[in-house]
Amino acid sequence: MVCLGNICRSPLAEGILQEKAFKAGLSWSVESAGTNSYHTGEPPHPLSQKVAKLNGIDISQQRARRFKADDFDIYDKIYALADDVMEEMKKIARNKFDAAKTNLLMNELYPGKNMDVPDPWYGPEPGYHEVYKMIDQVCEKIIEKYTVTNQRFANI
């Protein structure tokens, strides 16, 4: 899960998908990063932490780190939370950028719409709630997709 600062949106995405995967019995390791290093080493934004906590998810132990080209060697799937983030990922990863592993997160819910998860950084608390809702819905869809696939395999 990749955003710009790795303190507002992608920590929520990491926490939400990790929690849903765990509850669905999927042994996924979900992590997050940012394309800039302004906040490297910092915990998630207090309002991201607050909104997560209100929804029963603790993201306080996360620490921001910068996205790197080698992430394409490590992860099976890499989601950009917004299109400007995707462009930065291409610049950072250069020849390691793998389009087959990458997607805009919201395309999992609204295929082909190329919708961004808006950056709540400059705004007040309601923006964080809105972002939480969007990420929660798309993560639910991702879990559905992979659990349905598993069931199909189990039936063969």
Where does this chain bind ligand 4NP (CB under 6 A)? 3-9, 34, 38-39, 119, 121
Smallest separation (angstroms) from ligand 4NP to the CB of 102? 17
Closer of 40 and 103 to ligand 4NP (Cβ): 40
The DSSP string of the chain is -EESSSSSHHHHHHHHHHHHHHHTT-------EESS-TTTTPPPPHHHHHHHHHTT---TT----B--TTHHHH-S-EEESSHHHHHHHHHHHGGG--GGGEEEGGGGTSTT--PPPP--TTS-HHHHHHHHHHHHHHHHHHHHHHHHHHHHHHH-
Closer of 37 and 150 to ligand 4NP (Cβ): 37
Residues with catalytic roles: 3, 9, 119
Smallest separation (angstroms) from ligand 4NP to the CB of 125? 14
Closer of 36 and 137 to ligand 4NP (Cβ): 36
Smallest separation (angstroms) from ligand 4NP to the CB of 148? 30
